Structure formats: structure tokens, C-alpha cells
Chain A
Amino acid sequence: MTEVISADAPRGAPPERDILLDVRNLKTYFKVLDGVVPAVDGVSFSLRRGQTLGIVGESGSGKSVTAMTIMRLLDIPPAQIDPASEVWFDGREILGLPMDQMRRIRGNEMAMIFQEPLTSLNPVFTVGDQIAEQVALHKKVGKKAAWDRAIESLTLVGIPNPERRVKQYPHEMSGGMRQRVMIAMALSCEPKLLIADEPTTALDVTIQAQILELLKTIQQRTDSALVLITHDLGVVAEMVDNVIVMYTGEVVEQGTVEEVLVEPRAPYTMGLLESIPSVEKRGGRLSAIKGVVPSPFNLPPACRFEPRCPYHWERCRTVPPELYLSGPSGRRARCHLHTPEGAGRWPAALEAHRRALATGRELPVHDATPGDA
């Protein structure tokens, strides 16, 4: 349970004032029995005040670990943060902050909402207790004031009868209610940054709609920035301004949500979009990304998506791709198709993608490659 020790490496200069969160070359490793897992492997992004950022990826892509690293919630060891990584929050570098200062930021200026609202709330305390505890800690107010604040936040997230609900235990509430409580808790200290890790994955469709609309409304009302972590491209499309797509710990594409979801530039994003079932593809086969996510102990040498990529050529097996500029507005994609060497192949790839989107792509019937080589 030792917390991260301040890194001695020299830190870069703070970002401009308008940027609330600036993550630079973040690397988080896990040392386990079988070796080292590079869960987050050189992730950089920045977020302006009041904006929303979506982090998209499948399980094992490192999106949750990124959030946990920013919040500094990981146990060190087994986790290990590269000393050269930097996270600037509101003008401060927070990876090197002493733990007691970090705690003053956590829950106060930066708050997090988790996926599973049932297990994320402590079953033996009333929801009022759990919210008031946080308010009393950060706002240095009395018990009564903190309790009033708890009721106020429950009202804010639209919980009916907050005076009664505040005295209830989590198990006495429905899933949607509990997630509202989690949001109320996160908002109780009026944070500048809200990180929501799969906030609606465990919920039903109609409740998911409620929670997403609520997050949107509240974010506009309080003007806090939002990082939304999800595997659901639909949720991202409706909620965020900018998006980064992660695969095996790396960012493979970044840009505005319109750019990334309408005109994806990385083959992985293209594949994800193609594999979404839709009514247009009825009667045809869904195009699927073949194979499975590689084991973190046995990553491909250069491009990590190469074994599953329909557009790969020999360069993909030898030269690790970087995040190349792939559009006029500064959007980037980690693919050799956007280098001079690959530019010739891009139009064909784009054409194939468009066709797959429209009709579904014919792939060999039994496209499951065994998980082990």
C-alpha cells in the first residue's frame, strides 16, 4: 500500500492556463509473476477547462488504468509509474506531489465515478454518511452543513425525496439510483474535473439514457471538465468533444469526435466502427476484427495491431508506428498509412472501409484465429 514516491526527474514547464489536465507520455507498468505488463504505454493528451474527452477502448486497452494513474489510486507496487511521465492538473504536476497534498485534490478538485455502483458504495454506511464525509473532509464544514450539502447534491442529481433517501443504505436503492448517488458524491465538492469510468455499462438502456442526459446537463451547469471512459462508441458519439482511442496501452487515434467517428484514420478505429451491427448490414455478415487482443507478455514487435490489421504490409512488422499527423486540424493516428511510405495505400484502405460500413464485409467464414500462436 505504499503510495507513489515523488520522482526526482526534472519536470517540464506547466501548460498554458486554459488547459486543465495535461498528460505527457504516461507509462504505467504492472510487475506480476509472469513479467511486466505495460498497461499504459506512453499516453499523452490534454483537456481544456469545461471540455469533455472520451477515452475509448476494449477490455485490456489500458483506459481504466490511465484514469486510475491520474487519480493516483494504484497500489505501488505492483503498479509502477515511469519517472519521466508527467500529469499536470490545474497548473501543478501531480504525479510528484506528496500524498497528503494529492489527497486534498482527490475528491475535491478531481472526482471519479465508477462502473459498478453497487460495489462502489460502502454497504454499511448510509449514502448521506458517505457524501457528508467527503464534504466535511474537503470543505472543512461541520456535520450539519455537510449533511445539508449531501441533501443538496442528491437534489441536484434528481433524486426524489432527498431528505429520506439520504438516510438509506445503498442496497435499498435501484441501480440507477445508486449511480445517481455516485454522481452526487462526485459533485458534492464541485470538482473541476470529473472522471467517469464506464458509468453506464452496468445499467439498463433506459436508465443509461437517464444517467447520460444527467451527466450532460450537470456538466453544462457546473462547467466542470469530463473524462468519459467507455467501450461504447455510441455513448462517446453523444457525449464528448474530443476522443482518444486506445489499444494495448497505446493511443492509436485522437481527434474531435466528428473526425474520429465519421472519418477514422487508424485501422483499429475503422474496424471497430465496421463491426457495429446496424440495420444496413442486415442480411450480410458483420465485418469483424479478426483474432484477439495480443497477450501483454507477447506483444507484436512493431505495430501492435498488425496481426489483426487488414491493411498491413512488411513495414508494419519492422518499424513501430508513431502518432502521425493525419489531418489538417492536428488529428493523429498511429498508422504507417499516414506516412509518405504508406500514403499510396491509403485510398484503397479508405475505399474498403466505406464498403464495409455500408454493407458489411465478406471475410472468411471461420475468422477466429486461435488465441495462441
Chain B
Amino acid sequence: MTKYLIRRLIQAIPVVIGITIVTYAVMLSAPGGPVERFANNPKITLAQKEAFKKSWGLDQPIPIQYGRWVGLLNPDGQGLGQFLGPTGWPNILPTGISGATNGVLHGDLGFSLDSGESVARRIGNAALPTLILAGTALLLWISAAIVLGVLAAVKRYSFFDQAATVFSYIGFAMPTFWLGIMLILIFGVSLKWLPISGMVNARLSPAFGTDNYWVYFGQNPIPAILDIAQHLVMPVITLVVVNIAGDSRFVRASMLEALSQDYVRTARAKGLPGRTVTFRHALRNALLPVVTNIGLEIPFLFSGALVTESIFSWPGIGRLTIESIRVFDYTILMGVFLISSLLVVLANLLADVLYAVVDPRIKY
């Protein structure tokens, strides 16, 4: 197992390098460029644009730009000296040795072109709301999908099974934006039961994530949590309804397959009650592929849901992404893409490892 992990991690290195190159290349080849953000601003002259480019280092050759972004090159160095950090050690080494602080390798994702804040900080601020929203939704839809799928399989072709199928497909077919807007119209605008946007009530508490907010949170934890929970209801419902279909169908198929296996027949022949047969013998086997599937859904916890977050103005990664696209904030987009891709790589590894843990037949 350890050997397998080491092998997989070694295999991941070229993948990660490839991801950084592709991320960079995609950004580079996107039409426009960072200075396009001034395209509609007649006051900015061509010379000023060139000056902006120069100050952002965009006048440098592409490999050098990439090297600086990754952290291989020291932006303050000259010639071959660029490879060396402030302390004289190669720039690529950890900050403690080389003294270098620039580049992805040293945890520096650059500065937002729009606000000038550090990218890491912007992403960090948006990550917690997304984790809360996506985590709640993921937890709910996976548990609901397992329950629905198993029951539908056990009572195959029953009314419940048919109903679950219909419900799944309706949810599957419903566009997210339409469902979200309908929820807002009904429960937010007409009935006024639930807040329609944001994460916290702006009249009662400071904006989420600010230092003031945490002070407020420390003083009134229970109202603060309830406030967030209220805001969570509608986006979570949207996400669960839309996503439950695929997973519950998957669980149902997997459970049906397990129920038709010979060992289930053996379990019944042993005289075990139907409950034990279903939930001990069949379910355990049916969940093996489901575990893998869940592992692959983990990156969602970071990347979030673009449309849902935008509709409900949820201050998470999804909304950050959409806004950054609108204002040509290349550095933030690159940061988000990079982290999401890394998470996908890790999630794949995690899924494989999980599978080996739950299935005694798999040995690496």
C-alpha cells in the first residue's frame, strides 16, 4: 500500500507540472489579455497599457513569465542569476532555504488585477462559504441518494421505485438557474419565508469573512449560525434536487447488481432475515463503487457551483470565478483553476485508496 501510494504520488508529479503549463497556456491563448480590462476606458492610452504590461512583467518572454509564476525564476535576478533566490540558493527551493517568496511553489498566487489584493487571500475568503454550501449539499444529496437508491432497488418496480425514478429525472432535467429563480420567487419574494441572497443578513451582521464578522460571531454565535442556515436553505435545495438524480440512479443500479449476486442467495439460504441480507450482505458490496464515486465528487467542495452561487449571491468560489471572468482578472482565475485541478488529482488518488480500504480484494 505504501509502495502504491509512493508510486501514485510520483506519477502525479508530471501531471501537476502539466497542469501548471496548461493553465498558463490556456490563459495566454485566451483572446484579449490582462490589459483588455481597459479596452472600454478611453482615457487609457496605448503607452499606458504598455506601462501596465511592463509593471506586471508581461513584456518578458513567455517562458520567463511562466517561470516567475511557478516560482522557478526570481523576478529580481538577471541572466542566469534569475534561477537563484535572494539567499543565493536556487529559487525553486522552499522559502526557508532560498528566501524566494514568488510563485505558486512558494504559495504565492500573485495579486488580483482588479482589487490588488493577494489572490490567495481572495480565494481563501471565498473558500469557506463554498465549503459550507457545497459540503452541506454534498452530504445531503449523497445520503439521500443512498437511501433512495437502496430503497428503490429493494422495492424494485414498486410505486416507490417508479416515483423515485420520476422525481430523479425531473430534478435531472431542471435547469439550475430556473429552479433557483423559482425558489427565490416563491419562498423569497412571494412568501418572504427565506432571504433571497447572500450568506448573512447585512442589516444585522458585518459582511462574512471580515474581522468584524468574527468578532460578531464570537459574541452571538447562535444567531449567527441560524442566520447562515437560513440563507443556506434555498441554494442547498437547488443543488440537492439537481444532483440527486445521477447518484441515486447509480446507487440503485449498483444495489440491484449486488442483490442479484450468488452470495445474496447464499445469505438467504443460510436463513438470515431479509433485513440482514439486504443491509449487511448486499449493501456493503453495493457501496464499493459508490465510495469511488463520492471520492471523485470531493473537488466540488472547493470549486463550488458557478450558477447556484451566482443566483443566490453566495460569496463563494463559484461567484468569484464568474466575477473574475467578467473583469478579466487573470491571476485569480489561474489560481482557481490550478487549485481545482490539483484537487481533482488528489481526489482520484483518494478514491483509489478508499477503494482498497473498503474492498479486501484490492491489494496494491
Contact = CB atoms under 8 A, between A and B. Distances in A.
Q: Do chains A and B touch in the complex (CB under 8 A)?
A: yes
Interface of A: 1, 3, 71, 73, 100, 103-108, 111-112, 114, 116, 119-125, 133-134, 137-138, 169, 171, 182, 185
B263 interface: yes
B51 interface: no
Contacts of B360: 123-124, 169, 171
A120 B265 contact: yes
Give the interface residue-count category, chain B: 20 to 34
A308 B284 CA distance: 48
Interface stretch (B57-65, B96-104, B193-201, B268-276): B268-276
B284 A106 contact: no
Contacts of B50: none
Nearest to B284: A124
19 contacts: A100-B273, A106-B270, A106-B271, A107-B271, A107-B272, A111-B269, A116-B262, A119-B261, A120-B265, A120-B266, A122-B263, A122-B267, A122-B281, A123-B361, A124-B288, A125-B284, A133-B270, A137-B272, A185-B266
A139 to B, nearest CB: 11
Interface in B241-297: 261-263, 265-274, 281, 284-285, 288
Interface string B150-175: 00001110000000000000000000
A114 B269 CA distance: 10
Interface-centre pick from A3, A108, A134 (highest chain B CB count, 10 A): A134
A1 B155 CA distance: 7
Given A120-B263, A123-B360, A185 B268 contact: no
B47 to A, nearest CB: 70
Given A169-B360, A169-B361, A171-B360, A105 B271 contact: yes
B263 A137 contact: no
Nearest to B263: A122
Contacts of A112: 266, 269
Nearest to B270: A107
A71 B265 CA distance: 11
A121 B359 CA distance: 14
A89 to B, nearest CB: 13
A109 to B, nearest CB: 9
A197 B267 CA distance: 16
A252 to B, nearest CB: 28
A138 B265 CA distance: 18
A171 B269 CA distance: 21
Nearest to B260: A75
Nearest to A105: B271
Closest 6 CB pairs of A and B: A107-B271, A106-B271, A107-B270, A119-B262, A122-B263, A120-B262
Contacts of A125: 281, 284
Contacts of B270: 106-107, 111, 133-134, 137, 185
B271 A123 contact: no
Given A106-B268, A111-B269, A123 B274 contact: no
Contact of A104 (B262, B271, B361): B271
A291 B18 CA distance: 63
Contact of B272 (A103, A105, A123, A124): A103
A123 B360 CA distance: 8
Contact of B263 (A1, A106, A107, A123): A123
